[in-house]
Amino acid sequence: MPKTKSPAKKSAPKYRRILLKLSGEALGGETGAGISPEAVHEMARQVREVRDLGIEVVIVVGGGNIFRGIQGSERGIDRVTGDHMGMLATVINALALQDALEKQDVETRVQTAVTMAQVAEPYIRRRAMRHLQKGRVVIFGGGTGNPFFSTDTTAALRAAEMQVDVILKATKVDGIYDSDPKKNPGAKRFDTITYLNALQRQLKVMDSTAFSLCMDTKMPIIVFDFHRPGNLVRVVRGERVGTLVSA
């Protein structure tokens, strides 16, 4: 009898622990403002798929859909006050994402760098590590707790502290280009690029503080299109999605 082909096995996950960096605008859906329940639940669904593979997940979320400190300072708000307002906005987003994840039966903990005991746990590295060991997703809100530092810098810092394998920077484009692909149809996309090359080209991967920290700690970054269904799982399986930034 002719042999029947067995179904192809899906590749095992490439990473053991990841940090997913989400922008606040992503929680706002198509408008990028406020919180879109549909967008948040779609994010939670993709995170659940990855968690079901046995991967430990930590998330850093921005607050630009609600308030961005630097934009507030341009309109007359004190920069330090504005940044504190932005930190609070990230906590609102973290709680929204936690709610969506737990509605999909994913145990989640929110930790913040700004103490608010009635709302979330304070950031304690050892406790966060323990949550991961128990299979919980950990969401970091409140930025670094300091003004003048972006949530990109928070992601770079927490990635190093939590000893993750990679930072996955979720965007609306499918990688890093040498120019804005929306303005230049001939823009070239990079499959891979070094930290130094990205800095020299002044490519907007992350702000310079965050990027320098990633370079110092040799933390790889993958910039990918989070809005394409299945991309997050493809990334963690090691498929060539988006742009890899490394040494």
pLDDT category of residue 120 using cuts at 50, 70 and 90: very high
CATH of the domain at 33: 3.40.1160.10
The predicted-structure confidence for 147-173, as pLDDT tens digits, reads as follows 999 999 999 999 999 999 999 999 888
Inside any domain, residue 129? yes
CA-CA distance, 107 to 109, in Å (whole number)?
7
Is a pLDDT exceeding 80 seen at residue 183? yes
Inside any domain, residue 10? no
pLDDT value at residue 217: 94
pLDDT category of residue 7 using cuts at 50, 70 and 90: very low
pLDDT category of residue 2 using cuts at 50, 70 and 90: low
Q: Is the entire prediction scored with pTM above 0.85?
A: yes
CA-CA distance, 116 to 94, in Å (whole number)?
13
Average pLDDT value for residue range 216-225: 94
Average pLDDT value for residue range 201-208: 84
- 139-to-14, 27, 81, 169, 182 alpha-carbon distances in Å: 22, 14, 23, 15, 31
Inside any domain, residue 86? yes
Inside any domain, residue 2? no
Is a pLDDT exceeding 70 seen at residue 175? yes
pLDDT value at residue 204: 78
Tokens 């742009």 sit on residue? 243
67 vs 9: which has the higher pLDDT:
67
Burial class (CB in 10 A: 0-12, 13-18, 19+), 76: exposed
Average pLDDT value for residue range 7-19: 78
CA-CA distance, 151 to 129, in Å (whole number)?
20
Percent of the chain with pLDDT over 90: 68
Is a pLDDT exceeding 50 seen at residue 8? no
Question: Which SS3 state, helix, strand or coil, does residue 114 take?
Answer: coil
Inside any domain, residue 91? yes
CA-CA distance, 242 to 185, in Å (whole number)?
18
Residue (of 227, 195, 240) closest to 11 by Cα position: 240
Domain of residue 27, residue span: 17-246
The predicted-structure confidence for 54-89, as pLDDT tens digits, reads as follows 999 999 999 988 887 777 777 888 999 999 999 999
Average pLDDT value for residue range 209-223: 93
In this structure, the strands spanning 121-122 and 108-112 are parallel
Average pLDDT value for residue range 91-109: 96
Burial class (CB in 10 A: 0-12, 13-18, 19+), 221: buried
Say which range, 14-23, 180-189, 237-246, has the weakest mean pLDDT: 180-189
Inside any domain, residue 1? no
CA-CA distance, 108 to 95, in Å (whole number)?
10
Inside any domain, residue 107? yes
pLDDT value at residue 9: 52
Inside any domain, residue 4? no
As for how many domains the chain has, the answer is 1
pLDDT category of residue 6 using cuts at 50, 70 and 90: very low
The predicted-structure confidence for 133-148, as pLDDT tens digits, reads as follows 999 999 999 999 999 9
